[in-house]
Amino acid sequence: MYDIRFGEAVAAFRKQCELKQADIQGLSERQVRRIEKGERTKVDTLGILARSHGLSLKAYLDKIAEILSEDGEVISRVSTSIPQDTIDLSGEQI
């Protein structure tokens, strides 16, 4: 399943933070490119992206949700879709 809008928001936020794809430590440029094209990713990978931006996973997903909502689409916060019993809001696996 692809979510191009989510990938575009990830790319927009990375650029807003003046990060290059190569600046994301723990992911190859190819992996970042795929995510930004809308390919599915895992929670652990989102955690790597969040840490690269200096944010917790929750704060990162909230920022992505904010970017998506700025495009005119009313959405609920993305972070609410993460099962709270499987991931700590700091982004660390329980």
DSSP 91: S
Q: How confident is the model at residue 20 (pLDDT cuts 50, 70, 90)?
A: very high
Question: Can you give the pTM of this predicted structure?
Answer: 0.74
Report the distance separating Cα 43 and Cα 48, nearest Å: 9
pLDDT greater at residue 3 or residue 91: 3
Q: What is the CATH number of the domain that holds 67?
A: 1.10.260
> Which residues span the domain enclosing 32?
4-81
What b/e readout covers 14-30, taking b as 16+ CB neighbours within 10 angstroms? beeeeeebeebeebeee
In a domain, 37, yes or no: yes
Termini Cα distance of the chain: 27
In a domain, 86, yes or no: no
In a domain, 11, yes or no: yes
Burial of 69 (0-12, 13-18, 19+ CB in 10 A): middle
In a domain, 88, yes or no: no
* Structural domain total, the chain: 1
In a domain, 22, yes or no: yes
pLDDT tens figures, 31-90: 999 999 999 999 999 999 999 999 999 999 999 999 998 865 544 444 444 544 444 444
What pLDDT is recorded for position 2? 58
